[in-house]
Amino acid sequence: MNISQDEWQQLRSLSDTELKRRVFRILQTAAASIQEQGTEDPRLLEVVPRLAELFASKPELKDLREALSSLARATGLWNYIDKDVAATADLLVAETVTVPELDGVTLHREQVAALNDLLAGRNLILSAPTSFGKSLLIDALLASGKYSRVAIVLPTIALLDEFRRRLKRRFVERFELIMHPGDKPTEGSATIFLGTQERLINRTDLGKLDLTVVDEFYKLDPNRRDERSITLNAAVSKLLNRSNQFFFLGPNIDDVRFSGEGRWKFEFLRTRFSTVAVDTYDLGGVAEKEARLFDEIAEDRHWPALVFVSAPDKANRLASRAAEQMAISDGSADFAQWLSDNVGSGWSLVQTVRFGFGVHHGRLPRAIASQMVRMFNQKDLPVLFCTSTLIEGVNTAAKTVLIFDKSINRSDYDFFTYSNIKGRAGRLGEHHVGQVYLFNEPPQHELTAVAPTLFGDQDEAPDDYVVQLDEQETTKGTYTRVASLKIALGLDAAGLRLAAAVGLEAALALKQAVPKALGRRAALVWSGVPKYGEIFAVVEVICSVRRATEFGAFTPSQLTFLINALRLAPSMRHFLITYDGKYEGKPEAHDNVFKFLRACEYGLPQYFAVVEMFVKQHAQGADYSLFIQSISRWFKPEELKNLDEEGVPIQISERFHKGEDKDGLANKLLRLAREGSQHLTAFERKWILAALE
């Protein structure tokens, strides 16, 4: 079956009679194709979403809705069966695969096949397009009643929060959700552990697990140059050793490689089954690409639209230029005012948001990034300039994706990444036909294979991974390597694991730097609350191994200044407004302060802890534990940081915190928002309700 993109678009301009005739012919041809060739042809599968999109805007086609439902049943796209008009046989299929516990969602053929494998107890690795509905399978497993203790590994805090909100809404009565490091499960309760690899690898209360789920599993492959890959592999290895079953899911993977002995058996299901269709437009030959980009995003027929660019600075810069040329929304002024009042009026994003443009990249605070996506999905921010961070599972309702750049941080992206970005166009139930605009030639098609470290030969695994293994996992070769590392670094097993958090090579460099600094009488031996010079002494050692820019500062002196300013600030709002008032750098780099705040959460605490270990090898008086614990939560109560991860910005929650625990503070904020408290703006009340209800 072969209908061109142009032919589909021409259907919209046909008169009633001619339109009916053409659509009826398409339905006939599709039915004949199924009889002759089966249902695997992707061009056949896309007929259903394309017709569904057409039917939604052409009421004159209502007499053909039953025929479309029959085609949906035949192709396995059972979620497109219209239960109001479907024939009895089609309706029976739809009802059979509808899950009441999941808000009445109807599954499609490939979802049911995967679910059957999982409910039969088999380990499954699923590779499917973004529009497949992979997260629904996780929810369906939880709804089955078969699993009572589950660990779910997710790549980002943003995705953790998205899962938290969805699972809480559906399963709050059935499961206890454990997401923050300080959360503790109740003995005997059904529990879901939600965490990034860094959090789950350090949990000691996991117990025996019924199921381990790993989302975006391609990140297990060290060849994807993700610096967190080693920790991910170590965390997943730990989980699989205590789990009865596992389920890995991700997009566009062609093969999974493993060593011959294969400690874990699994089924690999690769499918290209997509629930939406995509139109692709080549703008690679356009001379003035930026001008053309702005012309396209000015058209409301594209909204909501994602614009993919290579790096955070460029996303900020392009969004700012777009806002200088046009205003595309009147629903984002309150958000812009909030950013001005709580982050700083000098931040270029204030004006960007005011005129309807959002930005999403790794430097943004999580609660603000979450609000950006929420307002994008609601069309209050019709255009979102984003980097590759948005392809890591966060759900968006994008109708159009404009791929403006062909690189990520100066390296050309591969076909796998390109496919993931492209897969963001279209959303089941909202935009059955997505649009992709290419401003550069796409990378050549190539197969993508994933080779997780934990599936490989342990004797060939990197040292940073090997030191994380439980003793029963080690081989004679890895045992010998670990023993040698203990001697070289002067650390026990727990110390090696901590050193691996910064990388054993960096840890060795720190071990060598510490005695040199002590020889210069650097103030490394301190405990409790450090003085300014004592912080600086440790920062100097850290920055002899890692550049200050990796922590959001230009020099060790500036990094120390920022740490101290954050420590002394009476509130996060005060810290950010003060920073804004003194900032003199490039507008697009203003939000580097958030890179510093991320480093305070993870990065700096680990480096301070490793330096402390090596200082103790020379002087027993060092104890950085209070400082490390404090900096990891921005020197604020832990409840505020935890709520920030759940979508309530700390600038709001810190105004109301009077010593309550997280749940108590969340309930207070909810009550104030529901009552219309004048201590919250109308915008803040909506924000709180969206994040916590």
pLDDT the model gives residue 260: 64
The reply to whether 455 falls in a domain is no
pTM of the model: 0.94
**Structural domain contains residue 358:** yes
Domain co-membership, 188 together with 300: no
Strand partners for 359: 385
Q: Is residue 513 part of a domain?
A: yes
Note if the bond before 304 is cis, omega within 30 degrees. yes
Residue 163: inside a domain, yes or no?
A: yes
Dihedral pair phi/psi, residue 478, rounded to 5°:
-70, -35
**CA nearest neighbour of 448 among 278, 237, 217:** 217
pLDDT value, residue 584: 93
**Strand pairing partners for 436?**
280, 401
Task: Tell me, yes or no, whether 362 and 415 share the same domain.
Answer: yes
pLDDT the model gives residue 284: 94
Same domain, yes or no, for 113 and 239? Answer: yes
CA 404 – CA 308 distance, rounded (Å): 6
Q: Do 188 and 298 belong to one domain? A: no
Same domain? 287 vs 412: yes
Instruction: Note whether residue 444 is domain-resident.
Output: no
- The predicted-structure confidence for 67-99, as pLDDT tens digits, reads as follows 999 999 999 999 999 999 999 999 999 999 999
501 close to 606: Cβ distance less than 8 angstroms: yes
Query: Can you give the pLDDT at residue 505?
Result: 96
Residue at which a domain ends, from 413, 438, 463: 438
Q: Is 680 inside any structural domain?
A: no
Q: Give 50-96 as a DSSP string.
A: HHHHHHHH-GGGGGGHHHHHHHHHHHT-GGG--TTT--HHHHHHHHH
User: What's the pLDDT score for residue 51?
Assistant: 96
Domain boundary among 270, 290, 310: 270
Same domain assignment for residues 154 and 248: yes
pLDDT value at residue 389: 82
Last residue of a domain, one of 210, 242, 270: 270
Tell me which residue of 452, 455, 422 sits closest to 440, measured CA to CA: 422
Q: Does 246 fall in a domain?
A: yes
Q: What share of the chain is helix, strand, coil (3-state, %, to 5)?
A: 55, 10, 35
The 10s digit of each residue's pLDDT in 309-362 is 999 999 999 999 999 999 999 999 999 999 999 999 999 999 999 999 999 999
Give the residue ranges of the chain where pLDDT is below 50.
Answer: none
**What is the predicted pLDDT for the residue at 227?**
86
Q: Mark whether 530 and 393 lie in a shared domain.
A: no
What is the domain extent for residue 46?
5-87
123 and 33 together in one domain: no
Asked if 489 contacts 496 with a C-beta cutoff of 8 angstroms, the reply is yes
For the chain, what is the domain count?
Answer: 4
Q: Are strands 246-250 and 124-127 parallel, antiparallel or unpaired?
A: parallel
Do 322 and 431 belong together in one domain?
yes
Report the CATH number that the domain containing residue 166 is assigned in CATH. 3.40.50.300
- The HSE-up count of residue 412 (CA atoms within 13 Å, CB side) is 7
Alpha carbon distance 671, 689 (integer Å)? 10
Q: Could you tell me if 124 and 186 lie in one domain?
A: yes
- 91 CA to centre of own chain: 36
Q: What is the pLDDT of residue 393?
A: 60
- What pLDDT score was predicted for residue 36? 87
Give the distance from CA 40 to its chain's centroid: 31
Please check whether residues 283 and 265 belong to one and the same domain: no
Q: Is residue 118 part of a domain?
A: yes
Whether residue 252 is found in the same domain as residue 356:
no
Which residues neighbour 299 within 8 Å (Cβ) at sequence distance 6 or greater? none
Say if CB 463 and CB 504 are below 8 A apart: yes
DSSP 570-583: SSHHHHHHHHHHH-
